[in-house]
Amino acid sequence: MSVGIISYGAYVPKYRIKIEDIARVWGDDADILKSGLMVNEKAVPDVDEDAATIAVEAARAAVSRSGIDAQRIGAVYTGSESHPYAVKPTSTIVAEATGTTPVLTAADFEFACKAGTAAVQACMGLVSSGMIDLGMAIGADVSQGAPGDALEYTAAAGGVAYIIGNKESELVAVIEDTYSFTTDTPDFWRREGMPYPEHGGRFTGEPGYFKHVTGAAKGLMDKLGTKPEDYDYAVFHQPNGKFPVRVSKKLGFSREQIEPGLVVPRLGNTYSGSCMMGIAATLDQAKPGDRIFATAFGSGAGGDAFSITVTDRIEEIRNNAATVEELLANPIYIDYARYAKHKGKIKVA
């Protein structure tokens, strides 16, 4: 029996800061950064937004896009590396605010940038086994980079929710299979109580991102007997623009295949939302029958690969919620001072 996506919803805060405005504060060369990172601007949360409010907005968009009864959702899992509480789940807030309570299981997931896709896999298992009717998996973050750290140029805010089900008539995309590749790799971490993450620096790209994305992607294609040219679109985790472009080339995907899902130049890295946002942007324009190959990456480290085929139903529900393109359009640009206020970098009394 098939399992897959019956709806999806995305959310991006309306504020952006340009790389130039961050570079000016630290005396860095904006042009070198922009061409190196392939990021021009990043999304910044409002002063009253956090990973929970972003998860709720994405989840509500997913519920209203499909028009399902939220009470059918039997699991809510929110993946994030910026859960507002250290202890107290984000997922209960999401469940209450989407009207799925009280008969459901809920938990928060953590796996750096791939916590959301790990939640998708858990929902696939629960739905396939018949334990639940529908499951909701969310990736949402308001990521922080320490002031002056390289991560500050890309760490952004946004979230995406997927509702997973297995009723043929409800599926907008069938997930044919998923494959994960995981090892213990210290490329990025944040200790309890610390406001900003630490990372192993530039050299961690190879043993972290590239090894695990390639491991998961090749593993899935080998398992399914598919090749890059069997897919219409491809999405890879987007910590910057450079990594997904390089890994897609290495795997044999073309620039045309990744372009629709490559949202990072105008959005920044939304961490748990990153690959899921790329898939959402691709679903926003894919046609029935199109195939999408996607691989998320989480530091620590692991890759989750998915092979997806879009169904006829996509056309019926696509326009019932904001597209990623609509969420990226008409942002409000803010300067570094206001950005610092939004991110709580300035403490007022």
Partner 1 sequence: MSVPRFWRKQIARYNLVGTRCKKCNEYFYPPRNMCPGCRREGEIEDFKFTGKGEVITFTVIHTAAEGFENQTPYVLGIIKLNEGPSLTSQIICEPEEVKIGMKVKPVFRKLGQAGERGMIYYGTKFVPDLC
Min dist CB 262 to partner 1, Å, is 27
* Site membership for partner 1, residue 207 (CB under 8 A): no
- Single out the residue of 96, 110, 133, 198 in contact with partner 1 (rule: CB under 8 A): 96
From 81, 123, 152, 342, active-site residue: 81
Mark whether 275 is an active-site residue: no
Two tokens, residue 216: 């998961």
Please, which residues bridge with residue 79 across strands? 109, 139
Per CB under 8 A, which region of 55-63, 149-157, 209-217, 286-294 contacts partner 1?
Answer: 55-63
Pairing mode, strands 73-79 and 134-142: parallel
Annotation marks residue 315 as catalytic: no
Query: Is residue 46 within the footprint of partner 1 (CB under 8 A)?
Result: yes
324 forms part of the interface with partner 1 (CB under 8 A) = no
Sign of dihedral through CA atoms 262, 9, 276, 219? negative
Stretch that binds partner 1, among 2-10, 42-50, 179-187, 279-287 (CB under 8 A): 42-50
Query: What are φ and ψ of residue 223, in 5° steps?
Result: -65, -40
**Amino acid found at 34:** K
Q: Which of residues 297-316 bind partner 1 (CB under 8 A)?
A: none
Lay out the sheet containing 15-18: strands in order across: 41-44, 15-18, 332-333
Binding of partner 1 by 337 (CB under 8 A): no
> If DSSP codes are grouped into helix, strand and coil, which group holds residue 325?
helix
- Among the listed residues 41, 49, 83, 113, the single catalytic one is 113
Task: Residue 146: count other Cβ atoms within 10 Å of its Cβ.
Answer: 15
- Using CB under 8 A as the binding rule, whether residue 57 contacts partner 1 is answered as yes
Q: Does 147 bind partner 1 (CB under 8 A)?
A: no
Q: Number of residues in contact with partner 1, rule: CB under 8 A?
A: 22
149 lies in the site for partner 1, by CB under 8 A: no
Distance of CA 305 to the CA centre of its chain: 13
Do the Cβ atoms of 37 and 127 come closer than 8 Å?
no
Output the six-digit token pair for 246: 């390089």
The residues assigned a catalytic role are 81, 113, 237
Footprint on this chain of partner 1 (rule: CB under 8 A): 46-50, 52-53, 56-57, 60, 84-85, 93, 96-97, 99, 332, 341, 344, 346, 348-349
